[in-house]
Amino acid sequence: MSGAWREYLGLGVALGALVLAFGALTDHFLSRATFAVIASQVPAAILVAVGMTFVLILAGIDLSVGSVLGLAGAVLGAALGPLGLSLPAGLLATLLTGLLCGALNGALSVYVRLPSFIVTLGMMEIARGTAYTVSRSQTAYLGARVEWIAETTVLGLSPATLVALAAAAVGQIVLSRTLFGRYVVAIGTNEEAVRLSGIDPRPIKWIVFAASGLLAGLAAVVHTARLASADPNAGSGLELQAIAAVVIGGTSLMGGRGSVVRSLFGVVIIAVLGTGLAQMGAAEPVKRLITGCVIVAAVVIDRYRNRSQGREGQ
Amino acid sequence: MLGREGGRRRLVLVGLAGLAVAITACRPQPQAQTPGRPRIALVMKSLANEFFLTMEKGAREHQAKNAARYELLANGIKDELDVNAQASLVEQMIAQKADAIVLAPADSKALVAACKRAADAGLVVVNIDNRLDAAALAERGLRIPFVGPDNRKGARQVGEHLARTLQRGDAVAIIEGVPTTFNAQQRKLGFQDAIEAAGLRLVASQSGEWEMAKANQVAAALLGEHPELKAFLCANDNMALGAVAARKAAGKEGAVRIVGFDDISAVAELVKTGQVLATADQHAGELAVFGIEYALETLDKKSPPADRETPVDLVTAETLR
Amino acid sequence: MPAAVLLRAESLAKTYTTPALADVSLELRGGEVHALVGENGAGKSTLARILVGLTKPDAGRMLREGHAYAPSGKAEAARRGVAIVLQELNLVESLTVAEQVLLGAWPSRLGFVDRRALREQAHAALGRVGLRGIDLERPVRSLGVGQRQMLAMAAALARPCRVLILDEPTAALSEHEAERLFAEMERLKAEGAAILYASHRLEEVRRLADRVTVLRDGRVVATRERGEATSAELVQLMVGRDAGSRPPRDARPTPSGEPVLRIRGLRRGRVLRDVSFELGRGEILGLAGLMGSGRTETVRALFGADRVEGGEIELRGRRLPRFFTSPKQAVAHGIALVTENRKDEGLLLPLSVRANLTLARLSELCRRGFVRPEAETAAARTLASRLGVKCASLEQPVRQLSGGNQQKVVLGRWLDRDFDVLLCDEPTRGVDVAARAEIHEHLQELAAAGKAVLVVSSEIEELRALCDRIVVLSAGSVAATFGREGFDQDAILVAALRDHAGGKGAA
């Protein structure tokens, strides 16, 4: 346990340093309002990052999450708009859309044995295309029907933030405490060894991809609620942002290693960077430059940390 | 092993065959070739964008009504920034022996070379929506007429409407589009014109990259950093929607005004209730039609190329009533 | 013999968390084979790596024919005439055989690889290790373990070398391949080169070595001239106690003979043409054969890891409709497998000893899907102590264990499970003498407890010591079966070569 806390310490310090730096560089960064803004922005990214963490630990990748979010959001927009469904029915349709996309990704990559990179790249296009079709490429304004989800209620947190934090907590517990999580780590470490131990890795992998899709669907609800609109372009580029956040959190792209809580830190670090740089009034090129540097630096630091630990043991 | 391989190959073949059938079924019905009827190619930016979709719809309706006058080849690219794909589209249109190209360029400079090839091939080229760079055109010795709205003027109208509700010295911020595009630059200039004229104080101008989520993040950050902000001038309506959400999250619904541009359907309700103070309608549905009409005229009369301005109208709660 | 000292190491030391080497000095003379023996973890590999600059010593120095020598890596060592073949082969799977052999020294013309020169030089180098018949354009990934080992050897010898370091070179070789290697070593020795030969196999050491240095816990315990020490004495030096008390095979009652597993006419492509045998309760059955004879493939087919094209299988007297289609199914039917290649197929290297030991039965250590940490730790602790796994803690990554301890972990994974048949593919490859004896002991205990055990091994000696019967495979079919009284090294070898006419046997 103490080991785990020490692991979080490094990221916590990095985050703290970032917050203090922005505090010094701007007039109003260190305020309740800023943190409320960040808290309202991260839920969708957290949900997607939770799923992505599992996928990366499996040594897979899911490039479709951004587009699936867009599609699920468009479904929500269509359900509440032209189709005139009730909110529960609309939410159900949204989540089912995400689940279906994820399940399809999983089925193709696991049972047809295609690389997940290719399968989800295909899904990325398919889902986006479908999103445009479903929404007729129009942004739908949903207003108060969904806004309450993103509105602050309990302890200064919105239902959306609470759902995201709950998903992260559940994800971390599943990963570290359950049979399923242990299998996920083992498969990501050496799938053949797991198979030869008499465990069928396929259903486990399939569930992980399906869950990633479902979480993207949930993220779509949260995202749509925050903006009170269903935008068919929503989530474009989110897959890379999620991968960046997860990697900042120290999850290995090679599989077998990762932590949901650390991914959460990654998401928050990226959100703080975005908000802080905007408050500083940094120009677009500078923002991109700095964000890129932070991602690379995080991975470099993580690599050194691992190597020094590896050396200790050898 | 062999059996399985073979099975998989068969599966792939069946899949490909199915795909081919599907593609054939999706293809629009080829229109009967009438000799002498000019072929006009409409090359747009992203069809994912409502604005261009409306534009395409307008063009198709116009063609349906005027089927005897011309044949329409409408195309768009996937990603608004994929200049390369658009340049190849222009070349495909040359190869397809179109008589005229009506082009909404994804980039105001990078498409000039493709236009030059089209002009050299004897096609009439009409520029709509996003104006090609004058210097780049001059360097190539090209004269391509621009048919479209004056974005700067439109943005100025929107800005002036906003200014009437504010006091001299009030703090405002601009949320720009992708800064490399002509329209983003023009709209920003138009907003600035209005801001200067009314003596407002511009405290920040940042890019929301035409996107709702991005604009939301920027607007939220600006509200935090500049609590005195009285208004956002957004270069399109999607970004205005993002700003509306940011304003709501900050609990400043009464205190901050927001204007947009484009008049997309999703903001109509917000304009009616005053949550978005104003937007500009540049008649997207007819923009392509203006270009097509112009191209037909040129083909007909061989008149020398000259720019033609199309109307931009201010949309407010009053005009929607 | 006043032979020149080609490489001298003085007081080398290296400490990780614990000392791996302490005050090790060594001389390699021209024209000698210098054996380095010791249990795994004694520091043999660390020493070998230091000699070619793959590991930096914390203290001490090295001299190459009297000149200071501190190579920065294999490339510089090679320039100074020192070559190495590592225990863990570092081959590039996607290269062709020819490219791999000359990797780092591809002949080129104007920046382009000169394919013809490449092929010629590779052909010559491969010929030296008896791989003359191999297709130079074959990808490395298609080679078996033994061929890879010989390929690595050819690569080391492709450039002129005065000092050759071999770390466990015969672990993956069939006896025949090993003979080729020994011939090549004799040739180098005659040319005046020095060879450092790290091995567990004392028979080989006794046969080949001019001098033997024994390492224990990172220190040199003794150096003996040829003929000065008996195998028993060496073992005692290595383990620091009398380890010669391996329980003889006869301590176990003769198996009842009641067959648990019976297969007939197992077929798969050209690899398995007709494999039939039966395995009785309480029996240890050996599966012998050359590389490529279908031993590993038989085991994998039985375990459902590979598809099968034909044949019948009978388990506990009941005919099954087909061979297993997945390992999961095989396990559900009471079959367990200890894989050939523990690093690629057996272990979760970065994960803890605990996680590796409990992998196969983790589902039983759960309540409502949650792993019970106390139950898991207890299970792992029991297994580790039962097997005598030496590790700093149960949380130590299994990667850090010695080969013998890693192999115990792979075996241990199954011990808690209810199984009738244990398939072991090369259970003691790259494992030190003491650990090997322990693993043999465990297999015998399992058999005594009524399990049926199938052991695949390249070492006929191992099978003779362990098994009740030996089935010999040759080119994918059963060539002969020997009972205990008929165990004869030559007869087994002849049977193994039966269907490999004109193959490696004639080279």
| All domains of chain C in start order, with CATH | 5-239 (3.40.50.300), 249-506 (3.40.50.300)
Task: Provide the pLDDT for residue C46.
Answer: 86
Q: Which residues of A touch C351 (CB under 8 A)?
A: 185-186, 189, 256
pLDDT digits (tens, 9 = 90+) for B73-91: 888 887 766 788 888 889 8
β-partners of residue C470 are C286, C482
Q: pLDDT higher for B5 or A70?
A: A70
| pLDDT, mean over chain B | 86
HSE (CB half, 13 Å, CA atoms) of C167? Answer: 21
Lowest-confidence range among A215-229, B119-133, C171-185?
Answer: C171-185
Chain A interface mutation, best of B44, B47, B212, highest count of A Cβ atoms under 10 Å: B212
Q: Is B266 at the interface with chain A, CB within 8 A?
A: yes
Q: Is A176 at the interface with chain C, CB within 8 A?
A: no
C419, C292, C171, C251 alpha-carbon torsion, rounded to 10°: 40
Distance from CA of C395 to the nearest CA of A (A): 11
How many percent of chain B have pLDDT more than 90?
A: 47
Average pLDDT over residues A248-262: 89
CB contact under 8 A, B220 and A40: yes
- Asked, colleague to colleague, whether B39-144+285-310 and B151-281 share their fold, the answer is yes
Q: In angstroms, how far is CA C251 from the centroid of its own chain?
A: 27
- pLDDT interval class at C34 (50, 70, 90): very high
Q: Phi first, then psi: give them for residue A239, nearest 5 degrees.
A: -60, -40
pLDDT digits (tens, 9 = 90+) for C439-464: 999 999 999 888 999 999 887 888 88
Average pLDDT over residues A150-176: 88
Residue C53 DSSP code: T
Q: Which residues of A touch C371 (CB under 8 A)?
A: 177-179, 182
β-partners of residue B216 are none
Q: Is A311 at the interface with chain C, CB within 8 A?
A: yes
Average pLDDT over residues C368-382: 93
User: In chain A, which among 34-53 make CB contacts under 8 A with chain B?
Assistant: 34, 36-37, 40-41
Average pLDDT over residues A300-306: 73
Average pLDDT over residues A244-270: 91
- Residue found by looking up tokens 């302890």 in the block: A155
Identify which of C502, C499, C454, C170 has the alpha carbon closest to the alpha carbon of residue C288. Answer: C454
pLDDT above 50: residue A91 = yes
Q: Is C351 at the interface with chain A, CB within 8 A?
A: yes
Q: Is A236 at the interface with chain B, CB within 8 A?
A: yes
Picking from A192, A195, A313, the nearest residue to C400 by CB comes out as A313
pLDDT above 50: residue B2 = no
Range ranked top by mean pLDDT from B114-123, B166-175, C356-365? B166-175
Q: Which residues of B touch A26 (CB under 8 A)?
A: 225
Instruction: Kindly identify which residue of chain A lies nearest to residue B240, measuring between CA atoms.
Output: A227
Picking from A186, A195, A314, the nearest residue to C327 by CB comes out as A195
Pairs of CB atoms within 8 A across A/B: 118
- pLDDT interval class at C2 (50, 70, 90): low
Sheet of B278-281, strand order: B201-207, B171-176, B229-234, B257-259, B278-281, B313-316
Picking from A183, A198, A312, the nearest residue to C330 by CB comes out as A198
Could you give the C-alpha distances from A87 to A40, A100, A145, A226, in angstroms and in order? 21, 20, 8, 16
Distance from CA of A90 to the nearest CA of B (A): 19
Q: Which residues of C touch A189 (CB under 8 A)?
A: 348-351
Residue A110 DSSP code: I
Picking from C303, C347, C363, the nearest residue to A179 by CB comes out as C363
Q: Which residues of B touch A77 (CB under 8 A)?
A: none
DSSP assignment string, C352-409: BHHHHHHGGGGGGGEETTEE-HHHHHHHHHHHHHHHT---S-TTSBGGGS-HHHHHHH
Average pLDDT over residues C242-266: 66
Instruction: State the fold for domain B151-281.
Output: Rossmann fold (3.40.50)
Average pLDDT over residues C209-226: 88
Residues, chain A, total?
314
Q: pLDDT higher for C252 or C304?
A: C304
CB contact under 8 A, B225 and A279: yes
Instruction: Kindly identify which residue of chain C lies nearest to residue A314, measuring between CA atoms.
Output: C400
Domain residue ranges of chain B, discontinuous segments joined by +: 39-144+285-310, 151-281
pLDDT digits (tens, 9 = 90+) for C200-217: 677 788 888 999 999 888
Q: What kind and span of H or E run contains A66?
A: helix A65-80
pLDDT digits (tens, 9 = 90+) for C388-397: 888 888 999 9
Q: Which residues of A touch C360 (CB under 8 A)?
A: 197-199
- pLDDT interval class at A3 (50, 70, 90): low
Both tokens assigned to B16: 């490909």
Q: Is C370 at the interface with chain A, CB within 8 A?
A: yes
Q: How many CB atoms lie within 10 A of CB B102?
A: 29
Q: Is B241 at the interface with chain A, CB within 8 A?
A: yes
Distance from CA of A127 to the nearest CA of B (A): 13
- pLDDT interval class at C246 (50, 70, 90): very low
Task: Provide the pLDDT for residue A88.
Answer: 93
pLDDT digits (tens, 9 = 90+) for B202-230: 999 999 988 899 999 999 999 988 999 99
Task: Provide the pLDDT for residue B22.
Answer: 61
- pLDDT interval class at A303 (50, 70, 90): confident
CB contact under 8 A, A182 and C355: yes
Chain A interface mutation, best of C50, C348, C419, highest count of A Cβ atoms under 10 Å: C348
Distance from CA of C367 to the nearest CA of A (A): 9
Q: Phi first, then psi: give them for residue A98, nearest 5 degrees.
A: -60, -45
Q: Is B7 at the interface with chain A, CB within 8 A?
A: no
Please report, in angstroms and rounded to a whole number, the separation of the first and last CA atoms in chain B: 72
Cα(A152)–Cα(A148) distance, integer angstroms: 8
Give A176's contacts (C-beta < 8 A, 6+ positions apart).
Answer: A259
Does the structural domain B39-144+285-310 have CATH classification 3.40.630.10? no
Q: pLDDT higher for B303 or C409?
A: C409
Average pLDDT over residues A281-310: 78
CB contact under 8 A, A198 and C366: no
Query: What is the CATH number assigned to the segment(s) A2-304?
Result: 1.10.3470
Average pLDDT over residues B266-271: 90
